[in-house]
Chain A
Amino acid sequence: MIIQTMALLVDAYRELCAKRLFWITMILNSLVVVVFAMVSINENGMKFLIWQMPADFAGVTITSETMPPGLLYRTMFAALAVPWWLRWVAVILGLISTAGMIPDLIQGGTIESVLSRPIGRIRLLLTKFVGGLLFMTLQVFVFSLLVFLVIGIRGKSWAPEVFLAVPIVVTMFSYLFAVCVLIGLLTRSTIAALLLTAVVWAAIILVNAGDLFSVSIHENIKAELRLEQAKVDRRERNATLAILGERNAEREAEGLEPLEALDPAPTSSELEARDIRLPVTKLRVRELEASESIASRWRRVIYFVKAVLPKTGETIALLGRWTIDEEEFARLGAPPPSDDRQRVAQEGSEATAEEFDNRPLWWVLGTSFAFVSVVLGIAALIFRRRDF
């Protein structure tokens, strides 16, 4: 069993090495790391080769004093190289390179030769699947190794955690490759497998975007609601104090002791009569409550839809969770918001980020692996029953 599995994996490796695209991707990855290494940081900001660049991000000036080079490179790796380069370009090249693996396997003249050997069909399919993941594993490993060296040499900080990119990116790739395997098996066509996987990926991206949008909208509404509710509370408190002040002035004129508090408390209409902007603010709160209820419902619906889909974005974001120390960023000291609008936007943004960061690992990976298991299970069932 081990002999067969090893033979299939070695064959997958040889097949990859025989593909031009494998080497093109490897060269592109290396070029990205070279560009990565050309960025540096000094006391004036960031530099690309010899060119000094503006380094103000969200009101924070980045210099070697505010951000050590090691943190800069790790941030660039986790926030740029992995989410943009590896997540998109490398994954697309990986899918193009491996989409033909199953259609090639099941074409006439090939599959019979393999099935005529003492190997179970399900093991054959799963080993081929793992062989496909080998492409991404090798690519990301080489990329991470080069980045590790750049961070160590240029950033004077050895960061072995960059190798977490290997399992994380490969895991994310496996979600799409499982779909590609199933479609390749159903259609026997490389092009169809590639295009339909792209369609599924687009659907996942759409749901992810919907999720981000719904959480962001909901959290912004909640932040604004809190703000408006605080305004209502403040206005009511001020109006109550104003009424109390009037009553106490009247009591003082009558020679009575001033009241500590109004009993009974003033009615809404008394408060609204006292502060003519209070009804408008209350109306805004009611509108926001209605919006919050709708946004909350949509957020739950999208969350449940997303629960059955693989979490491509969150999986990649795990790298940021595990490689970037939030405290190091906190020391950069972002400026406080200057008005209510900025405050709402900042609170909403922070709450949204917190929501995604706090989604449990079992949900991010567990439901994604469940998706992969179901998709591969269907593929295995078809592969096991099909006549070739």
Chain B
Amino acid sequence: MNDLIFFFNQAIIGGVVLGSIYALGAVGVTLIFGILRFAHFAHGDMMTLGGFISFVLAGIVAGLGIAFPLPIGFIVVPFAMLIAAGLALGIDKGFYAPLRARGAKPVTLLIASIGVTMMIQGLIRLFFGVGTYSFFDTQPKVLHRIELPFEGVTRPISFSEPQLLLVISTIIAVVALHYFLTRSRLGKGMRAMADNPDLAKVSGINTKLVVRVTWIIAGALACLAGTMLALDVSLKPDLAFNIVLPIFAAAILGGLGHAYGAIAGGFVLGFAETLAVFNWSVLLRPFRDNLPEWFEIPNTLSLVQSEYKLTVAFVILVVVLLVRPTGIFKGAST
């Protein structure tokens, strides 16, 4: 039973946390692809930027000397999301919109987004250096332990407060996005434009407005994901750049342009990565006495070493693309 809880703490909680981050990032990537038909490579850095915005706001709030029951980084996240949404609009207006107006091909926009990646990373390094920051210098990181009332169980279920908040805010974001896309006029207009941009135009849908709303949502969710990731681990200039490829893998896995697919893809990859690096021999140990004598339980029995965690995403991506080229859900064609 203790080993099972160890499995739960390591693999299940780890998978949910990683999956939430991937899902929040992949939703933005997939919405931008659905509406603007290009791979927005700078999305990871918009996440990082969002984390730094929250960090600055948290510093200001901490300076006021008010005590909060929750991490200050989490308290300020709605305001940071607003700022990040504004910045996303600015990035589009400054870099991508002029290219679109000239009828640039998707690959040109992709290259431009790599330029934006470098610019954001450069700016962050310019102001914050290359160091690592923690949100928890001024207040402690709360750990939750849930003791289970079973006999012989000594190991508690444990997770940190940022992890709990991350999962809660992901659920809220996903539910809100669902209602926006299925109930609101603009959300339906967004789906219409992702489905058939020419017909959306013919129907008189204000496509420029839809593009703006897409950036607002993608920017705000990227900021949420970046802040929560920074709260869970720590904040550094290449925080989310390192996970932009699995985020793209999650979006492709779910079918590009398909918001629910991206969420599902994010969780599939999150779980796949944590399960692949989990040391399965832990779960075999309780059966030590029942196993045949020639079978010796190795000390580590994980599918891949944790340094190679990222490769799991790509193996799954390649397999899915071979078997089902449009992703788990049918996505938009390139």
- The answer to whether A and B interact is no
Seen from chain A, the residues whose Cβ lies within 8 Å of a Cβ on chain B are none
